[in-house]
């Protein structure tokens, strides 16, 4: 069983791999520390030679956009290829679905929903 940071709900945990451009070896420690300060981040790691980032986070708390915002402050952006952009759109959709599911109040027992 994996251990996660306090406050991370494993049911809403998502793992992302991002291809980046502008990633420099010099600012990796600062970038890692700043991303880890985002509420809901579980793990973050960089491969500077391949310009990739692996991150896992609780999508009911944060989203890929908050991570991209920190990256942009350090002049690091996702690669512009169509596949990478497609995956980012997919990641945003999944993050929204996770947030919606986290807020959903399920119906109890065998009672029909209100209005029926």
What is the full DSSP assignment across 71-86? HHHTT-EE--SHHHHH
pTM of the model: 0.84
Q: What pLDDT is recorded for position 116?
A: 60
Q: Which of 14-18, 31-35, 38-42, 108-112 has the lowest mean pLDDT?
A: 108-112
Tokens of 96: 């929204």
Mean pLDDT of the chain: 89
Q: What pLDDT is recorded for position 30?
A: 92
Domains of the chain with bracketed CATH: 10-103 (3.30.70.100)
State yes or no: pLDDT of 113 exceeds 80: no
Q: Cα–Cα distances in Å, from 106 out to 42, 53, 102, 113?
A: 27, 35, 10, 9
Instruction: Judge contact between 34 and 2, C-beta under 8 A.
Output: no
In sequence order, the 6+-apart residues with CB closer than 8 A to the CB of 62 are 38, 39, 40, 41
Predicted confidence band at 106 (pLDDT cuts at 50, 70, 90)?
confident
Q: How far apart are CA 4 and CA 9, in angstroms?
A: 8
């Amino acid at each position: 069983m994996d251990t996660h940071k306090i406050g991370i709900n494993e049911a809403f945990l998502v793992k992302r791999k991002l291809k980046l451009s502008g990633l420099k070896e010099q600012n990796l420690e600062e970038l890692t520390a700043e991303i880890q300060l985002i509420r809901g981040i579980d793990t973050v790691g960089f491969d500077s030679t391949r310009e990739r980032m692996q991150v896992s986070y609780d999508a009911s708390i944060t989203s890929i956009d908050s991570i991209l915002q920190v990256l942009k402050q350090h002049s690091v952006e996702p690669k512009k290829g169509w596949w990478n952009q497609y995956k980012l759109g997919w990641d945003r959709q999944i993050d929204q679905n996770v947030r919606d599911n986290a807020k959903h109040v399920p119906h109890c027992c065998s009672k029909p929903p209100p209005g029926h």
